[in-house]
Every structure is written in structure tokens, then in C-alpha cells.
Structure 1
Amino acid sequence: MSDSVIDLGELRHDSDPDPMPRPPRGHGRPLRCALVLLLALVTLAAAAVSPPRRTPVTLQAQRGSDIMVDGDLLLVMEPVNTSTRQGRLSAYRLPGGELVWQAPLSAEARYWGMKPLGGMLLATGFEIGPEGRDILTVALDRATGAYRWQQPGSVSRLADGNLLLRSGGETLPSNLRAVDPCCGTVRWQLPPTTAEVSVRDTGHGVDRLVLNQENGMVEVRDATTGAALAHADMRPPGGARLGIDLIDDLLLAIDRGSGTINAYGLDRLDRRWTRASGPIEFALDCGPIVCLRTGGNELQALDPATGDVRWRSDRWLWGWPYGGRLMANISGFGPMEQYVVIDALTGRQLADLGKWELYQLDVGGRLVGIRRHPDGGMLVSELDIAAGKVRIVDVLPDATGECQAITGYLVCSAAAAGSYQLWKLAD
């Protein structure tokens, strides 16, 4: 990679690269929520490793932009200009950083996220409308930046390659519809609803929707067709609305007041098991087990087939599944948080990974940790959960921190004022 300088405008630090996220109440990512888990040290032996250094692309940038790498394109979404009331999306060719195209984002919105899909780039942001703040998605051609369509709502990829758009929510009814990514043509849509909406994302797109109504009625729909698959009245005693979590083929209906969980088969809503666990904060998918975070500051591991408790611990805050193992963080918050590897079925600790600022490059993908190098710059490592090891992969000599992880790359602030550097990570 040769030295290059790209003038990007402003680089935002509260953007949506993929730091390891706090598990949401409803299962179904997307991949999209973000908090950075701050961690600090690794062993002296690991720190002494000196991997080959790479020549970065230098970005002359200030705060405020969003960055994404899609294949051989570096995409930069600049904030709305106060004089023109327009944002701008620019595409640069990697590895050299040559400008390919620039496109205005014409709506008066604060754009905050991008998604690539089927030769398109989807930019999503907030637009101020007559009823308050609305969400807007604009589709651009990836090759040229040409405008294709725009519609209200945030966007998720469906399992069949189409898009799910959701607008409204919070104090307004939700509107759900599926559209063709090529031109925004509506495939199906539902009447406005005040239901809480949960989705199941298989990793290849959303395939199920669950609508949790205030009156206790819960409905499951096929997300690719909009067709209803099952419905049931699940109102608990006292009439409070249930919490719904989707884990693989289970729908967990959680009465947070009593701490009772009823597990149902997702497609037919046939009851599988019931368990009283006391106050529950959330449930999450931990691979071969269901993890519960309780109000008693405890992580419980349930058998997904029976609901039986396999193990419990007040040492772990929460966990992420990797091939039958869990990466868990030790209970507590702040920069001294620490990661370990545990056996998912027994809760036994297998390895200590140390303390890192940790990023996940893709859902279920590589875990990259960074910390300050004692001789300056940033030390970059890869965490191998299966092996329970940390591997040093790079040293970024001019990086000073404030990093973002994007697919295959790290962007960090550099020693030179007003500049950032883009490093390609080792394979």
C-alpha cells in the first residue's frame, strides 16, 4: 500500500463501526448498536513481538464523518453542511485512495449509517419532519454514486435479498414493509401498528418478525412475505406487557415482574418449557445455551431444550458464543474490564485473554484488540477464542488512539494534528 492522502472533511467518533455490543433486549442485531469495550494490557512477552509494519493511507479529516470499507471502496459520509443543508458521500479506491465519485445527500438529515447491498449503498439518517424526527434511507448506485430512491425508515436486509424498512416507533405507530433494493418497489407492507417489533436475523438476513401487542397478543410473521405464521394471547397475570427475546428457533416470553420465562417454538408458538428465574434483565443467544442476565447480578446458563440451569456465576457480566465456547467479560465496568474464555456447557474458565479495547470486524468474525504500546503507537492483536490465545498482528507507530474498526482495517487518530490513518490488518 503506497502513501496516500485523502481529504475527507470530518471523521466522526460516535459512528457505527462494529465494536463488541451490549446484548440487546430483543435478539436480532444489526449487528446494529454499538459500544466499545475498553481494555488495556497484555503480557510482556506478547508486547515484545514485532510484526511487520504496513504503510497506512493518511486521511486529512476532522470530527463528524462516518467511514465504511466495502470491498475495494473506502466510503466516507460527511455531515450536513450548515450553509447548503446537504451532506456528501464520497468513494475512494483502495489501496491508493483515488477519488472514484462524490454524491450529495439531498435531504436535510443527519446521516449516521451505511449498508452495502446488491450493488447499492444505503445511507440512513434522521430527518426533521412535521411530527418530529423521522428516519430516512437513501439508496445510491455503488459504482457511480447515482441516486436511485429514498424512503422513510431504517433498513435491514431480509433473508431473500430484499429490504425491510421500519418507520415510526416510540410514540408513533410503526410501519413495516419490504422493498426491492433495486428500485424501492414495495413487496409487502403491514398496517401501522403500536406493537413492539422484534426480528430474528439468521446471519444471512432477517427471516422472522414478532409483533408484541399491548393487549398481550403476540404474532409471528414470515419476514420475506409478510404472512402470519402463528399468534397467541400471552398476557401475564397483572396485565403487564411481556418482554420478547428471539433465540434461534425459540421465542422467550419474559414476565419481568415475576421473573417467569415461557419458551415457545417460534413458528407455531407451541409451549416448550416454563421457568421461574427471578428478576431478569435480558436473555441472549450463547450458542449451545441460553444466557440470562438476572437482576441479582448473575449470569445463568439454561439448556435451550428444557430450560434447566446448567450453571450460574456472578463473575461474568455477559458472553458471546464462538464455536461451543463463550468469550465473557468479568463483572464490572470501565477501562480495566477483562475478557476470559469459558466452556459454554459447564461455565469453567479455560483461558484469560487479558485487557483490551476490543472490536469485532464482522458479525461472528475476527476479534481485534488494541492497546497503547509502551514505546508509542498502538499494539494490535487478534483474539482466538477457540485456541484461548492472543496473537499480536501489528504495531501502528503513529496512532494515538480514538480508533474505529471497519472490515479489514483500523482507522485511528494520528500524531499529526487533524489527521487519521487507515491501516489494513494482517490476514
Structure 2
Amino acid sequence: MTGPVIDLGELRHGPDPDLLPRPPRANDRRLRCALVLLLVLVTVAAGAALPPRRTVVTLPARLGADALVDGDLFLIVEPANTSARQGRLAAYRLPGGAPAWQAPLSAEARSWRITPLARMLLVTGYEIGPVGRDTLTVALDRATGAFRWQQPGRAIALADGNLLLHSGGQTEVSSLRAVDPCCGTVRWRLPPTSAQISFRDTGHGVDRVVLNPVNAPVEVREASTGAVLASASLLPPNDGPLGLEVMEDLLLAVDRGSATVTAYGLDGLDRRWTRTTGPVEFAADCGPVLCIRTGGGELLAIDPETGGLRWRSDRWSWGWPYDGRLMVSVSGSGPMVQYLVVDALTGEELADLGRWELYQVDDARRMVGLRGHPDGGLLVGELDARAGEVRVLDVLPHATGECQAITDHVLCAIANSSYQLWNLPD
């Protein structure tokens, strides 16, 4: 494994200067002081001209591996590629990249996700089975990689520090269990159900579970205890399919038959408003407005209090709130997506941020974009929605793609089929 590589830029070294003769008289001290001061100023100026130091760690990981940075650990899951090779989770200590520990993974999976929780690492593998999507979560000790427990289901962190394990879904029966992350002890469980299950994530974990069964009342449950907070029949008059979207304190019921959206208070299922929107593809929280993408290719901004239409546009594919404004992607902008900043309440275009492959870092506190550099490698920029500009952070000279932005770092594949980890400057 290669150790840390520090890029100091280009250092020039000319011939050594001739030795200065010894000053003949002691009263030339002012001249000597002036020369020393001049030398210091030249040295400082030369130092200021050097590019910022960039620390690059090369890691022995196969392409296609799943990675995460958690504090001082770089974690990488390498799935099994043959029947004889078992998957493994390898941990490296940052900033230097020294090996910390590695742990075998008993299950084969096409993709993995790592969830840090307390002093544990929850590693969930996803595999497409004959009747649905199979998942398995393995709990490991963060400090040593020691095996703690494993159970079926994908890991979902709860707001109270515990854990949900969700199995099944879509076309197969679902199961839901709340467990203690230390040992996998079940705190409460939901009987097997064919209901569609939605969650409200507070940003610090899930605190509400919504069950949407076929031809039965919708239930809202407290995620930590499983207690039912509200239950009501929300079926539309035509008994057609009903889609549910959790938006902060609202539950949106999408009636695809009549192309209407009805908003209910989440904890009481009290009706707030109804609006005809046309066919709905998706809905999302866009800060001060609700974003609804219609089947006709329009993006609608809806007032969450009244259901009134704020604005509509057929130019933008999607939007999400960021730093007090709304970032939108331009429809049909090609492989590298063009991003704009707009006023969430009026739809007024405020800035064009250019075309990027966009990543969210640190729970969306930073937006980092990557695109090819004319001289090779990848250009890294930070998209600042509030200022309406892009700040160039770095050029990754050896990066070829397959990048991830993870906790103030960018991980990219390089030409020799390994990965390098670059730290993002503040």
C-alpha cells in the first residue's frame, strides 16, 4: 500500500549564490539588517506563491467497491467476485491510510451500505432475489471490526438512537423490527404486512412510520415504540391506488385516478387541503414549498399551508432546498447536468452554476461538483447556492471517474485500477 503523497507543486532550484565577503566595518549593521529583512520578504512571497498542499492517500481497493469515511476511519467493502473469494470490510486509519482492521462478510451482495451508529458499524448487503430484494445487516464493532450480530433487513437509524430493520417491500410481504444496536435485541416488531411502509426522517433519525395497506385504514406509528398515533381511511372515492409521501408535518395522499393531491396533518391525519395537479410522478420537500413533478414534465411549487400554486416550470426536472434557496436541474441537459439557483417562493432564476456531476457531502451541508478538466483529471468545485457561484477547490490529476464525495473527502478511481482519497479544503 502506498503511504500519503503530498503534492508541493513545482520547486525550482538554481545555482547557489556566491558567498558574501565579511563586512569590513561594524557600522554597516543597518545594511545587514536591511538585507536580512529583504531576504525574509522574498522567502515569504515565494512561499505564498506555492499552491496549497494536497494530501492524497492511495488505497488498495478494487473498482466497484462501496466506501465510507466515518471520522478517522476509511471503510471499504469489497464484495466477493468468485465462489472462493469472500467479501470483506476493510478499515484504514486516516489521515495516513494505515490498515486498522478487516472483517469477513458472510453474505454475497451486489451492493453494500455502511451506517455508523454509536460504537457500531452496520453493514447492509442488497441482493435481488427470485421474489424480491433480499437484505441482510451485519453489526461490527467500530474499534476492532469484531462481529456482534446479523439479522435480515436494511438498517434505518431511529431518532432515539435505536435501530429499525426493514425487510421485504414492493411486491413482497414486509417485516419491521426495532432493535437495540448493541446486541440486536428486539424492542418491538410489526406483524408481517403487505402494506407500503414510509418513514419520516428528522435528519437525526426516523421518528414516524406510516403504513399504507390495500383497502384498509392508513396508520401513523411512533417509530421508537410502535404505538399507533393516528388511523384513518384515506381511500379516494373511486377506490383507486393511493400513493403516500411524508413531507415534514404533512402526509400527501396522491390519487392517481383523479390526478389530485390531498394533504393531511401527519400525527392526526386531519385533512388540510386538496389540489388537482395532473398525473404525479414524484413529490419532495423543497423547503418553503412542496415540489411536485408531473407526468407532463412540469415542476410545480405548492404552498404547504394552503395548497396554492406558487409557480410552475417545464424547464426544470427536479429541485431541492439548499442554504435557503432552491437548486434545480435543467431538463434534458445531458450526461453532465446543468444546475440553476432559483427563488423557492417565486421561481425567479438567480444564478447558473454550470454543468456538473453533483454530490452532497456532510448531510447536504456542502454541494460538490466534478467534471472533466481540459488537461486531464477532474475539476472539483463547490456549488454555493446562497452566493450563486462555484468555488474551484482542486484539480485531481490522476482521477478517471467512479467518484464518491464522503465527509470532506473525494474518492475516485485512478488509472491503475485502485482508488485515491483526496481531502477537500475548507
Shorter-chain TM range is 0.7 to 0.9
Q: Which moved more, 1:179-188 or 1:417-426?
A: 417-426
User: In structure 1, what is the equivalent of residue 369 of structure 2?
Assistant: 369
User: Is 1:137 equivalent to 2:137 in the alignment?
Assistant: yes
User: In structure 2, what is the equivalent of residue 249 of structure 1?
Assistant: 249
User: In structure 2, what is the equivalent of residue 11 of structure 1?
Assistant: none
Q: Which moved more, 1:245-254 or 1:401-410?
A: 401-410
Cα distance in structure 2, aligned partners of 1:64 and 1:393: 25
After superposition, the Cα gap between the structure-2 partners of 1:223 and 1:111, relative to the gap in structure 1 and judged at 3 Å, is same
User: How many residues matched?
Assistant: 382
Cα distance in structure 1, aligned partners of 2:390 and 2:50: 14
After superposition, the Cα gap between the structure-2 partners of 1:386 and 1:130, relative to the gap in structure 1 and judged at 3 Å, is closer
Q: Which has the larger radius of gyration?
A: 2
User: In structure 2, what is the equivalent of residue 39 of structure 1?
Assistant: none
CA displacement, residues 115-134 of structure 1 (integer Å, 9 cap, x when unaligned): 11101011111468897752
Cα distance in structure 1, aligned partners of 2:325 and 2:392: 22
User: Quick check: 2:107–2:125 contact (8 Å CA) kept in 1?
Assistant: no
User: Quick check: 1:50–1:394 contact (8 Å CA) kept in 2?
Assistant: no
User: In structure 1, what is the equivalent of residue 161 of structure 2?
Assistant: 161
Query: Aligned Cα RMSD in Å?
Result: 2.1
After superposition, the Cα gap between the structure-2 partners of 1:377 and 1:107, relative to the gap in structure 1 and judged at 3 Å, is closer
CA displacement, residues 221-249 of structure 1 (integer Å, 9 cap, x when unaligned): 11111000111111113222201011110
SS of equivalent to 1:203? coil
CA displacement, residues 281-332 of structure 1 (integer Å, 9 cap, x when unaligned): 1211000001111122111111100000011111111101023310001112
CA displacement, residues 311-357 of structure 1 (integer Å, 9 cap, x when unaligned): 11111111010233100011125224311100000000011101111
Cα distance in structure 1, aligned partners of 2:342 and 2:109: 44
User: In structure 2, what is the equivalent of residue 419 of structure 1?
Assistant: 418
User: In structure 2, what is the equivalent of residue 197 of structure 1?
Assistant: 197
User: In structure 2, what is the equivalent of residue 172 of structure 1?
Assistant: 172
Cα distance in structure 1, aligned partners of 2:358 and 2:311: 26
Cα distance in structure 1, aligned partners of 2:155 and 2:224: 14
What letter corresponds to residue 272 of structure 2 in structure 1? Answer: R
User: Quick check: 1:53–1:394 contact (8 Å CA) kept in 2?
Assistant: no
CA displacement, residues 368-420 of structure 1 (integer Å, 9 cap, x when unaligned): 011122222211110111111110111112222232222211111224x2232
Cα distance in structure 2, aligned partners of 1:413 and 1:289: 38
Cα distance in structure 2, aligned partners of 1:370 and 1:129: 34
After superposition, the Cα gap between the structure-2 partners of 1:133 and 1:248, relative to the gap in structure 1 and judged at 3 Å, is closer
Cα distance in structure 2, aligned partners of 1:131 and 1:278: 33
User: In structure 1, what is the equivalent of residue 235 of structure 2?
Assistant: 235
Cα distance in structure 1, aligned partners of 2:108 and 2:398: 37
User: Quick check: 2:238–2:257 contact (8 Å CA) kept in 1?
Assistant: no
User: Quick check: 1:265–1:271 contact (8 Å CA) kept in 2?
Assistant: yes
CA displacement, residues 84-115 of structure 1 (integer Å, 9 cap, x when unaligned): 46211111111111111111112344551111
What letter corresponds to residue 327 of structure 1 in structure 2? Answer: M
Q: Which has the higher helix share?
A: 2
Cα distance in structure 1, aligned partners of 2:116 and 2:383: 27
What letter corresponds to residue 135 of structure 1 in structure 2? Answer: T
Cα distance in structure 1, aligned partners of 2:402 and 2:133: 29
What letter corresponds to residue 422 of structure 1 in structure 2? Answer: L
User: Quick check: 2:220–2:229 contact (8 Å CA) kept in 1?
Assistant: yes
For residue 60 of structure 1, report the CA deviation from its aligned partner: 3.4
After superposition, the Cα gap between the structure-2 partners of 1:326 and 1:310, relative to the gap in structure 1 and judged at 3 Å, is same
Cα distance in structure 1, aligned partners of 2:132 and 2:318: 36
Query: What pairs with 1:300-315 in structure 2 (closer than 5 Å)?
Result: 300-315=300-315
Cα distance in structure 1, aligned partners of 2:246 and 2:372: 38
User: In structure 2, what is the equivalent of residue 401 of structure 1?
Assistant: 401
User: What is the TM-score normalised by the length of structure 2?
Assistant: 0.85
Cα distance in structure 1, aligned partners of 2:127 and 2:258: 40
Cα distance in structure 2, aligned partners of 1:306 and 1:170: 32
After superposition, the Cα gap between the structure-2 partners of 1:216 and 1:278, relative to the gap in structure 1 and judged at 3 Å, is farther
After superposition, the Cα gap between the structure-2 partners of 1:127 and 1:220, relative to the gap in structure 1 and judged at 3 Å, is same
After superposition, the Cα gap between the structure-2 partners of 1:73 and 1:278, relative to the gap in structure 1 and judged at 3 Å, is same
Cα distance in structure 1, aligned partners of 2:209 and 2:164: 10
User: In structure 2, what is the equivalent of residue 92 of structure 1?
Assistant: 92
User: In structure 1, what is the equivalent of residue 271 of structure 2?
Assistant: 271
SS of equivalent to 2:95? coil
User: Quick check: 1:404–1:410 contact (8 Å CA) kept in 2?
Assistant: yes
What letter corresponds to residue 425 of structure 2 in structure 1? Answer: A
Cα distance in structure 2, aligned partners of 1:334 and 1:300: 22
After superposition, the Cα gap between the structure-2 partners of 1:62 and 1:285, relative to the gap in structure 1 and judged at 3 Å, is same
User: Quick check: 1:409–1:425 contact (8 Å CA) kept in 2?
Assistant: yes
Overall identity of the aligned pairs, in %: 68
After superposition, the Cα gap between the structure-2 partners of 1:113 and 1:235, relative to the gap in structure 1 and judged at 3 Å, is same
SS of equivalent to 2:337? coil
For residue 74 of structure 1, report the CA deviation from its aligned partner: 0.8
User: Quick check: 2:351–2:389 contact (8 Å CA) kept in 1?
Assistant: yes
User: In structure 2, what is the equivalent of residue 44 of structure 1?
Assistant: none
Give structure 1 regions of 4+ aligned residues with deviation exceeding 4 angstroms. 108-111, 127-133
